Structure 1
Amino acid sequence: MANQQHLEIERKFLVKSFDPSISSKSFRIVQGYICAEENKAVRVRIKGEKGFITIKGKSQDEGLSRYEWEKEISIAEVEQLLHLCDGGTIDKIRYEVPVGNHTYEVDVFDGDNKGLTIAEVELSSTDEAFEKPDWLGEEVTGEAKYYNAMLMKEPYCNW
């Protein structure tokens, strides 16, 4: 199981309306946070049929980029580590939607965050051009309350 590290550059948007039939792939994600602080987060996740542990650093460039390290681990290991997580889990369905030269990841949340739908597009640079489909709403890049780690602490149902 290889690990990956890189600088993650992404833009995040609320979604006005979403039709799952436009997606090329979808899968359920259940994740929890062993550590969720302003400058770092340690996340464990079951994504479809695979497990992962991810460490994310402090956001830079007004929330556009941050260091990310990820390693695939077994689902059994994720299930054990979920017991160390504070505040329960995030449960969502992720849809991958190709738009132009990019793929948007559209997360439709369930549980305490039901009703929230967020789209992210990963870029290779902070100034890279990308198509914005008409189903995108307000940009929320860098707004901490939309980070999954923050949705654990202050879920959408409490807004």
Structure 2
Amino acid sequence: MGMEIERKFLLDRRPEELIAEGAFIRRSEQKIQQTYLALDEQQEVRVRRLVDVDTGEVEHTHTFKQGNGMSREEIEYSITASIYEQLFQASGAVPLTKTRTTGEWNGFTVELDRYEQLNLTVAEVEFESLEAAEAFEAPDWFGEDISSKKEYSNKKVWRDLQNRTHGR
């Protein structure tokens, strides 16, 4: 099982603004739909449909994650469109949709996620080690560090979306 070590920051600006002023260099952009098939406090299983905005290429993934916070175990692999559709339809859920702009800041790969159903944009940076993550000094435009704040986790945001959509 691989380790995902990342820090997340709350942005109050749109990716387009940061690109226009040269604070962030855009490499690619994807439209992502993600649905959780099962989740609890320690584990999650999700599927994603990712569409590359520039090429139109479509990818589908199935992911298992374990743990919370900055460092988690992760297994992710590609699945066919048919398997994705079957799992997505069986879930009966509303997918969480976001636009992910991947680029570079100061030698780091940064993912800016803009959630379409919410007024929320976050920056994510992945690291090779916990030490590198802890030593990272973010620029001012990254905003508040929300790496350990559960209310900003994708699974919490997705669960809130389900409750709002299904009137629970």
Which category describes the TM-score, using the shorter chain as reference length?
A: 0.7 to 0.9
CA contact (8 A) 2:33 2:95 kept: yes
SS in 2 for 1:140: coil
Q: CA deviation at 1:131?
A: 5.0
Cα distance in structure 2, aligned partners of 1:37 and 1:122: 23
Using the TM superposition, give the Cα deviation of residue 87 of structure 1 relative to its aligned residue in structure 2, in angstroms. 4.0
- Higher helix proportion, which one? 2
Bigger mean CA offset, 97-106 vs 25-34? 97-106
Residue 102 (structure 1) shift: 1.5
Give the stretch that moved more between structures: 24-33 or 76-85.
76-85
| Distance (whole Å) between structure 2 residues aligned to residue 79 and residue 87 of structure 1 | 12
| Alpha-carbon distance between aligned partners in 2 of 1:56 and 1:50, rounded to the nearest angstrom | 19
Farther off after superposition, 76-85 or 8-17: 76-85
Residue 74 (structure 2) pairs with residue 78 (structure 1):
no
SS at match of 1:31: strand
What is the letter of the counterpart of residue 29 of structure 1? I
| Root-mean-square deviation over aligned CA pairs | 1.6
Equivalent residue, structure 2, for 1:143: 149
Unaligned runs of 5+ in 1: none
TM-score under structure 1 normalisation? 0.85
Aligned length: 147
SS in 2 for 1:141: coil
Paired position in structure 2 for 1:121: 125
Partner of 1:53: 62
Q: Distance in 2 between matches of 1:26 and 1:143?
A: 26
Answer whether contact 2:5 2:70 (CA < 8 A) is retained. yes
For 1:35 and 1:132, the matched residues in 2 are separated by 33
1:15 aligns with 2:21: no
Matched, 1:67 2:63: no
Structure 2 contact 26–103 (Cα < 8 Å) conserved: yes
Q: Give me the identity figure in percent.
A: 33
Structure 2 alignment gaps of length 5 or more: 20-24, 52-57
Matched AA of 2:94:
G
The separation in 1 between residues aligned to 2:94 and 2:143, in whole angstroms, is 28
- Greater radius of gyration (CA): 2
Mapped contact 1:29–1:47 kept (Cα < 8 A): yes
Relative to the length of structure 2, the TM-score reads 0.81
Deviations 1:88-141 (A, max 9, x none): 210010001201231111100112x2x100111000111214452332110001
Paired residues for 1:85-104 under 5 Å: 85=91, 87-104=93-110
C-alpha spacing 1:122/1:86, structure 2 compared with 1 (3 Å): farther
SS in 2 for 1:17: coil
